[in-house]
Amino acid sequence: MTAREYFVSDVGSGGVGGHDNIARADVSFTVRVHKQHAIAVKYLWNRRDATFSFLGDGTQERATVGVFYSHIGRERFSAVDWR
């Protein structure tokens, strides 16, 4: 899970008298289903709140869900017998 937030003030927005607040969250879960085969589910959410003197306030929000197949390494991959 990852969550981030960014604030861009009027200093970084090109001097047009506004600001942005951007938030995003990313959650993923992977499960091995058989030997080296796995299925992953990922959810991504984004939101942008913008305020500009000449455009007013605006909000954008998006979310996506993805299902992925993965071919992962062997069990005990990179493991060494230290005895």
Query: pTM for this one?
Result: 0.68
17 part of a folded domain: yes
Residue whose C-alpha is closest to residue 41's, from 53, 28, 54, 31: 28
Number of domains in the chain: 1
C-alpha distances in Å from residue 7, one per residue of 24, 48, 66: 12, 10, 27
Q: What is the pLDDT of residues 25-44, one digit of tens each?
A: 999 999 999 888 999 999 99
**In the predicted structure, residue 78 carries a pLDDT above the cut 60:** no
Is 23 or 35 the better-scoring residue by pLDDT? 23
80 part of a folded domain: no
Is 76 or 48 the better-scoring residue by pLDDT? 48
Per-residue three-class SS string for 2-40: EEEEEEECCCCCCCCCEEEEEEEEEEEEEEEEECCEEEE
Q: Judge contact between 46 and 64, C-beta under 8 A.
A: no
Which whole number is the average pLDDT over 36-60? 89
Return the ∠ at Cα 26 (arms to 63 and 57), rounded to 5°.
50
44 part of a folded domain: yes
76 part of a folded domain: no
Residue 42 belongs to domain spanning: 2-71
